[in-house]
Chains A and B, each alone.
Chain A
Amino acid sequence: MLSSPKVNDFVVRFANVNGTGSASANFLFTKAIFRMGIPVTPKNIFPSNIQGLPTWYEVRVSEKGYLGRREGIDLMVAVNPQSMLKDVADVRPGGYFLYDSSKKLHSEYIREDINYIGIPLMHMCNEAYSDARQRQLFKNIIYVGALAALLDIEFKELEGLLAEQFKGKEKLIPMNVQALQLGVDYVHKNFKYPLDIRLERRDLLGDKILMEGNAACGLGAVYAGATVAAWYPITPSTSVVEAFMDYSEEFRFDKINGKKNVAIVQAEDELAAIGMVIGASWNGARSFTSTSGPGVSLMNEFLGLAYFAEIPVVLIDVQRTGPSTGMPTRTQQSDVMEAAYASHGDTKQVLLFPSTPKECFDMTADAFDLAEQLQTPVIMLTDLDLGMNDHVSEPLVWDDKRKYKRGKVLTAEQLDKIEKFGRYLDVDGDGITYRTYPGTHPVKGSFFTRGTSRDEYAGYTEDGGAYKRNVDRLTKKWETSKTYVPAPQIYNKENKSENGFLFFGTSQYSSEEAMDLMKEDGLIFDAIRIKSFPFTKEVEDFINSHKRIFVIEQNRDAQMKSLLMIELQADPNKLFSVLNYDGMPITADHIINQVSKVLSPELKQV
C-alpha cells in the first residue's frame, strides 16, 4: 500500500506494558540501527507508574540525520492490549501494525488502510519456554527478531549486542539469540520481507555516541570535581544523581583504604538539598544538586540567599511538564521564567541551556567554573526529553590540561599581604569580590555570611546607601557575567534572510529540521541557538538585524520571548511565538505549520 519504498526513514513505535522487560529489548533494536551507522532517536513515552500501565517507545530513523520527533507512525509494534485501540488509530494510512496473533484480532481493531502483521508471540513463547518470566521476557526478543527480518536489521549486530549485554552471564546468550531467530524464522516463513520501509547500512555516525543527557550531566559533575551532591528523588532528574553515584563508585573510590572522595546525601527534601549545596560550596567544596520544577519552586528561598550572599551553587533542573505536578513524565521547557528570577526581591540567576548529551557534559563542568568564578547560582535547564532519552551525540572529550577555575578565593599568604579584607569590597572593579574559606587564617579573612544587608566588610547594616551600593555592585557583576557565559550558536555567518529562528535546548532538533525542509521550498531562515542567560550582545544583534524572529519554545506562555522582551527590550511586534506544550517533544511539522501561518499572507502577495 505504500507508494515508494523508504530506506532509513521511518518511525517505529512500540506499545508495551510498563515493567515487562520491554525496555532492554527495545533498546537492542535502537542500538543495532545505531551500529549500522544510521541516525536514530528513541523516545520513551512512559507513565508515572511502576508497573502495569501503558508505555511507549518511539524510534525515529533518519538518513538525513533529523533527530527530533516526527508525527506519524509507520510501524506500530502493539503488544499491549490495554492501549491497542489507540495504537491502531495512531498508525498512518499505509503503515504497518504488528500484533500478537495468538488471539484473533477483534473487529474493532481492523482498519482498511493499514497493513497487519500478526505473529503468535504468546504461542511461540509457550511452546519454547516453560518458565513464566522467560515467556514474558523472550516475547520481547522475538518481536525484535521479527523486526530484524522485516526491516533488514543486520543479525550480527543484534548478536554482538547480546554478547556485550550478557558479558559474564554467557549462558544467557544462546537463549536470547534463539529467541531472535524464532522471530526471524516466523517472518521468513509467513511474510514478504523486507517491508518497503527498511534499513541499509550507512556510515553516517562516525565516532558519535548514544547517550542520555542525565548520564552526561552526572559524568560532567565527576569530571568537574564535584565532591558533595545532595538531592531529593524526582522524575526526570533522579538519573542525574544516580549516574553521578555510579561514576563515583568507579572513579572516586579509593581501593586501598576503602574510602570515598565524594559525599552523596539523599536529603529530606529539596530545601535541604540546596541548603547542603550552599553549605558545602561556602566551605570550598564543589557541590551540586539536581531536581525538576517542583523542586526548584521549593529551592527559591535558598536561591535568593545564594544570590545575595554570593555563594556558588550548581543546580541542574531537568524540566518536566508543569504547573504543579503537571505531567511528571512528559517534557517541557517551562521553568525558564521561574529559574531566571528565582527567589523574592531583585534576583537574577545565571542559566545554561544544553541541547545534546555532549553539551550536558560540557556545560555541567562549565557550570562549576562559572558558579565559582561568579560566586552565584548557575542553573542548568535541561529537560526530560534530553535527560531521559538516548541521543546521538558527539563523543565526550576532556582536556587533561584543564584546571578547575575556582574563582577569587584568598589563601592565608594572600591574606597576610592585605591590610584589611573586605568580603564584599569590589577591588577589581568587575563586581566580583574575594572570598575566603573557613579555617584559612587564624586572624584574617573571617567574615559573617548572611542573607541580610551588609557593608563591604560583611558587617550587618540597615543603611540604605550601603544596601544600594551592594545591589548595584551585583548588577555590575551581572554585566560581567555576560563575558563568562557561553555565547549563542549563530547558524549563518552573514544574514541571509529577514526572518530568524530563535530556539534553545531540545527545540534545536526540530527547529533545524524545519529550516532544512523549508529551505527545500525556497524559504531561507537565519537562526540563533541561545545557550545561556544573561543574554549576550550577539542575541541582541541577532534580533535587531531581523524583521521577524520566530521564538521556538516548549511552553504555553512564551517564557523565552518574555525574557527577551524584559531583558533586551526586544520589540514584541517582531517576536512570533512557536509554541508546543502538550508534553511531547516539538516536531518540525508543528514548527513549519506555525511559521507558515505567519508568513503565508505575505507570501501570497508576492
Chain B
Amino acid sequence: MTYIRPKFRHPQLPKNNLGYTLAYYEGALSTLCAGCGHDSISAGVVQACYDLNIEPHKLAKLSGIGCSSKTPAYFLSNSHGFNSVHGRMPSVATGANLANRDLIYFGVSGDGDTASIGMGQFVHAVRRNLNMVYIVMNNGCYGLTKGQDSATADYGSKNKSGNVNLFESIDLASLAIELGATFVAQSFSGDKAQMVPLMKAAISHPGFAFINIISPCVTFNNNMGSTKSYDFVREHVEATSTIDFVPTMKEISVDYKEGTVKQVKMHDGSVISLQKLSDAWDPLDRQSAMNAIINAKAKQEILTGLLYLNPDSQDLHSLLQTSDKPLNEMGEKELCPGNDALTEINAGLR
C-alpha cells in the first residue's frame, strides 16, 4: 500500500469552480507497491481533473490488465470504470465512445498491455483518432506477472535477475506519430509539474491523445543497468519545453520570454503555451517531432513534453458523421422504421 489516507478533511480545503475539493477526485486506496510510479500518475489524474473542473460522472475510465490497469480504481470514484481484458481496452473504449460522444474517455494501459498483447488494438484506435486520452504507464516490464521484460524495454537494458534485453524496444511515441496520432506527449511519473498540464491538454484534445509516461517499477525494474529505473530516467530525461495549459475560462497570461513561447489554440478555445527549449523542433510538424525523438534516442535521452499536436484533429464521430445526440439516448422513435416501411420491404421481396 502506498499510503494511508487520513480520514479527516480540513473544512477550509480549497475547492474548484464546481465546489469540489481535490479529495472528491480520489478513488479507492491503492494496492500497488510503495513507491510505484503508477501511483504518482494517478495523483496527476486527480489533480488534472480537479483543475479542469470535470464532473467525475461525465468521465469514463477504462483499462486493460496489469498493475497500471488497476489504477483507475484509485482515482475518480464517482466515475464509471471498466477494467477490461489484457490488451483490449482500446476496443471497449471505442464502443463506449461511439455509444455516447458526450463523456470523456480516459484510458490507462501498461507497456505490456499496449506494446505486446494489445498492439493491434492500440494502433487501430490511433488510426481512427478515437476521442480519448490514452496513457501508457511505461515501466519496461510486466509488473503484475513479476517483472518479465516488456517490448518497451530498451536494447541492452538489464532486468532485476541480471538478464540483458536482446531485442530492440518499441518506441510508442514515435509509433503513434507515425500512425497519425493527433496528440502525442511523453512524461515521467516523477515530474508532476509537467505531467499535469499535459493531461489537461490531452483531455481537451478532440481526438486520440496519447501520453507515454515513464513510470518505474520499484519492485522489478528499478535496479542498476535498467533504463527505466528512477535514477536512470532522472539522469537522462530531456524536456522539449515547459508547458502550460490554459483552459478557456481563464485569461491568458503567460510570463515566458518573448519569442520563445509557442501558443497553440485548442478547438474549445483553450490554449497550450509551450516554452520551447530547442529551436530544432516544431510541435506542429510531424517530421520534426519524429526527428527530435530519433535524435534524442541516439543520445540516450528521454525526450519529454508535448511532442506533436495536430490542432485540426477530426475525431471518429466527425469522420463517421454520427449524430450530435448521443446514440445511447435514442429510442424507438428515432431508431425503428415501423411496420409501414416493413410492408414496403416485403413487397419488394415478392
Contact = CB atoms under 8 A, between A and B. Distances in A.
Given A259-B323, A397-B342, A446-B77, A279 B336 contact: no
Interface in A370-394: none
Nearest to A440: B57
A275 B84 contact: yes
Interface of A: 34-35, 207-211, 219, 222-225, 227-228, 230, 250-252, 254, 257-265, 267-269, 271-285, 287, 301-302, 305, 395-400, 402-404, 436-443, 446-452, 460
A251 B99 contact: no
B102 interface: yes
Given A438-B57, A448-B73, A285 B88 contact: no
B322 A449 contact: no
Nearest to A272: B91
A404 B58 CA distance: 25
24 contacts: A35-B350, A209-B349, A210-B349, A222-B335, A222-B337, A224-B336, A225-B331, A258-B321, A265-B320, A275-B95, A279-B62, A279-B98, A280-B98, A282-B99, A283-B328, A302-B88, A437-B80, A440-B57, A442-B56, A443-B78, A446-B77, A448-B72, A448-B80, A448-B81
Interface of B is mostly: helix
B82 interface: yes
Interface string B306-350: 000000000001001111100110111011111101100110011
B116 interface: no
Contacts of B78: 442-443, 446
A230 B341 CA distance: 25
A260 B322 contact: yes
B51 interface: no
Interface string B87-110: 010111111111110110000000
Contacts of B330: 225, 227, 261
Contacts of B288: none
A227 B80 contact: no
A275 B92 contact: yes
B304 interface: no
B151 to A, nearest CB: 18
Contact of A279 (B57, B96, B322, B334): B96
A275 B339 contact: no
Contacts of B90: 272, 275
A390 to B, nearest CB: 9
Interface in B58-94: 58, 60, 62, 72-73, 77-85, 88, 90-94
Nearest to B63: A450
B316 to A, nearest CB: 8
A585 to B, nearest CB: 21
Nearest to A258: B321
Given A400-B339, A449-B81, A283 B60 contact: yes
A227 B328 contact: yes
Nearest to B343: A395
Given A209-B350, A222-B337, A438-B57, A265 B94 contact: yes
B165 interface: no
Contacts of A283: 60, 95-96, 99-100, 103, 328
Contacts of B80: 436-439, 446-449
A439 B337 contact: no
A446 B55 CA distance: 13
Which A-B residue pairs are the 10 nearest by beta carbons?
Answer: A275-B91, A279-B95, A285-B99, A276-B95, A438-B80, A280-B95, A284-B328, A279-B92, A283-B99, A209-B349
Given A272-B124, A439-B103, A219 B57 contact: no
Contacts of B328: 227, 280, 283-285, 437
B242 interface: no
B269 interface: no
Given A227-B330, A258-B321, A283-B95, A439 B102 contact: yes
Contacts of B317: 263
A6 B185 CA distance: 77
A261 B94 contact: no
Given A250-B337, A283-B60, A443-B78, 12 more contacts: A210-B349, A260-B323, A271-B88, A279-B92, A283-B99, A305-B84, A397-B342, A398-B339, A439-B103, A449-B82, A451-B83, A451-B85
A449 B61 CA distance: 10
A456 to B, nearest CB: 16
Given A263-B322, A280-B96, A398-B338, A285 B91 contact: no
Nearest to A223: B336
A34 B321 CA distance: 40
B52 to A, nearest CB: 16
B92 A276 contact: yes
A283 B105 CA distance: 11
B337 A251 contact: yes
Nearest to B325: A261
A274 B85 CA distance: 12
B148 interface: no
Contacts of A257: 323-324
Contacts of B346: 207, 209, 395-396
B121 interface: yes
Contacts of A251: 337, 341
A207 B350 CA distance: 8
Contacts of A211: 349
Nearest to B24: A443
Contacts of B72: 448
Contacts of A285: 95, 98-100, 327-328
Given A251-B337, A448-B73, A438 B96 contact: yes
A207 B342 CA distance: 13
B327 A227 contact: yes
Contacts of B349: 209-211
Candidate in A219, A283, A397, A446 with the most chain B CB atoms within 10 angstroms:
A283
B100 A439 contact: yes
Contacts of B342: 223, 396-398
Nearest to A263: B98
B162 interface: no
A275 B121 contact: yes
Interface string B108-147: 0000000000001101100010000000000000000000
Nearest to A277: B95
Given A283-B100, A284-B328, A396 B334 contact: no
A452 B82 CA distance: 11
A222 B60 CA distance: 27
A449 B64 CA distance: 11
